[in-house]
């Protein structure tokens, strides 16, 4: 079993509870870790078909991030589902964090985020 990670993917998107957030957009950072039993085969075969394609996973994340959601929980759930549908049986679990880098909150903070864990990453 291996872990595939996409670290600190920066994306401009239109998620938020307030209409202004969905109209103007905000900067987000997505970090993904996937437990992938299939990667053991790729260590032997050196074949991309025996693991998860990082570029395809990034494209899936970007596609889901391009559709506005009110809640980070909702967009994270959509990303998780899209990845599992794209790679049936190849993902044993994962951890996904979606962070809003400049939330409309009257406080000094680096970001707010939501993390979901499933399967063997729990």
- pTM (two decimals): 0.93
How high is the pLDDT of residue 105? 86
Q: Contact 13/66 with Cβ under 8 angstroms?
A: yes
One digit per residue, the tens of pLDDT, for the chain of length 122 reads: 899 999 999 999 999 998 888 899 999 999 999 999 877 788 899 999 889 999 999 999 999 999 999 999 999 999 999 999 999 999 999 999 999 998 888 898 999 999 999 997 66
**CATH number, domain with residue 9:** 3.30.1130.10
Domain limits for position 23: 2-119
Domain count across the chain: 1
Q: In what order do the strands lie in the sheet with 112-119?
A: 2-13, 26-36, 93-100, 112-119
* pLDDT at res. 112: 94
What is residue 94's DSSP assignment?
A: E
Q: Are strands 93-100 and 26-36 parallel, antiparallel or unpaired?
A: antiparallel
Among the listed residues 58, 39, 60, 61, the one whose alpha carbon sits nearest the alpha carbon of residue 50 = 39
- The DSSP symbol for 70 reads S
């Amino acid at each position: 079993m291996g872990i595939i990670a996409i670290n600190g993917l920066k994306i401009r998107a239109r998620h938020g509870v307030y209409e202004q957030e969905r109209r103007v957009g905000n900067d987000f950072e997505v970090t993904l870790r996937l437990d992938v039993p299939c990667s053991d085969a790729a260590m032997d075969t050196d074949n991309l078909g025996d693991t998860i394609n990082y570029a395809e996973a990034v494209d899936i994340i970007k596609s889901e991030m391009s559709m506005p959601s009110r809640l980070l929980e909702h967009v994270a759930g959509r990303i998780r589902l899209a990845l599992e549908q794209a790679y049936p049986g190849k993902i044993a679990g994962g951890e996904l964090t979606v962070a809003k880098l400049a939330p409309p909150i009257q406080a000094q903070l680096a970001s707010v985020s939501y993390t979901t864990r499933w399967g063997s990453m729990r």
